[in-house]
Amino acid sequence: MEIKQARYVQSSPTLAGCPMADKPEFAFVGRSNVGKSSLINLLTARNNLALTSVSPGKTRNINHFIINEQWYLVDLPGYGFAKVSKKQRDEWQNNLNEYLIKRTNLVNVFVLVDCNIPPQRIDIEFINWLGAQSIPFGIVFTKSDKPKVHALNVNINDFLSALAEHWEHLPPHFVSSSVRKVGREEILDYIDQCLEQISE
């Protein structure tokens, strides 16, 4: 897939404020500070389409970007740790869940997982929740430039092994690095395949 055009559309605090569900939609979600904005910038080949921050919890709304005037890329609020109150975190989680369950044009959710660290319970639980809701998803292991190759492989294999305890068939997964420009073509090819399938 060649991305010729990518532009910001709007930010919505809740599902009700999102754009009309008239185009296929691919959403990106993960724990706070997992590298979501950096991945979006990598995929779209734009340096600042999505704002990055060293502070966890920067993304607070459902952010829509339109790609090639054909489909939406959506940057979702992170789950897990953020420097906000529990009430605010719960509100974000409720808004996130509502979007994921009720957004009728949602084609696929990419769950971002930091491959620098061992499997985290919160990621496994979120992925299992997606499965229970029958929401299509794939996994993107981010920041693959940071760990040594052995540690990288160990963390990814351990994560997939943890998933295999709950899943008969593992979901598609990708390895990415916004620093080394790794994973872009594979993820965009997968999006292209999804678009072809729904157009048949």
Q: Is the pLDDT of residue 40 over 90?
A: yes
CA distance 162 to 166: 8
| Reported confidence tier of residue 54, pLDDT bands at 50, 70, 90 | very low
pLDDT for residue 183 is more than 90: yes
Kindly tell me if the per-residue pLDDT of 53 is higher than 50. Answer: no
Q: pTM of the predicted model, to two decimals?
A: 0.92
When the pLDDT of each residue in the chain is averaged and rounded to a whole number, the result is 90
> Residue 138 in contact with residue 188, Cβ under 8 Å?
no
The 3 state secondary structure assigned to the chain is: CCCCCEEEEEEECCHHHCCCCCCCEEEEEEECCCCHHHHHHHHHCCCCCCCCCCCCCCCCCEEEEEECCCEEEEECCCECCCCCCHHHHHHHHHHHHHHHHHCCCEEEEEEEEECCCCCCHHHHHHHHHHHHCCCCEEEEEECCCCCCHHHHHHHHHHHHHHHHCCCCCCCCEEECECCCCECHHHHHHHHHHHHHHHHC
- pLDDT at residue number 56: 45
The residues pairing with 71 across neighbouring beta strands, listed in sequence order, are: 67
57: confidence class by pLDDT, cuts 50, 70, 90: very low
- Which whole number is the average pLDDT over 124-146? 95
Higher pLDDT pick, 58 / 182: 182
Q: What is the pLDDT at residue 33?
A: 83
What mean pLDDT comes out for the span 89-105?
A: 89
Sort strands 106-114 and 25-30 into parallel, antiparallel or unpaired.
parallel
Cα–Cα distance between 38 and 25 in angstroms, integer? Answer: 19
In-domain check, residue 86: yes
* Predicted local confidence at residue 81, as pLDDT: 56
Average pLDDT over residues 176-182: 93
- Residue 125 is part of which domain span? 6-199
Domain tally for the chain?
1
Residue 131 burial by Cβ neighbours in a 10 Å radius (0-12, 13-18, 19+):
middle
Residue 57 lies in a domain: yes
Q: What is the CATH number of the domain that holds 78?
A: 3.40.50.300
Domain contains 48: yes
Residue 1, domain member (yes or no): no
Q: Examine residue 31 and state whether it is found in any structural domain, yes or no.
A: yes
Is the model's pLDDT at 42 over the cut of 90?
A: yes
Q: Give the pLDDT confidence score for residue 82 in this predicted structure.
A: 60
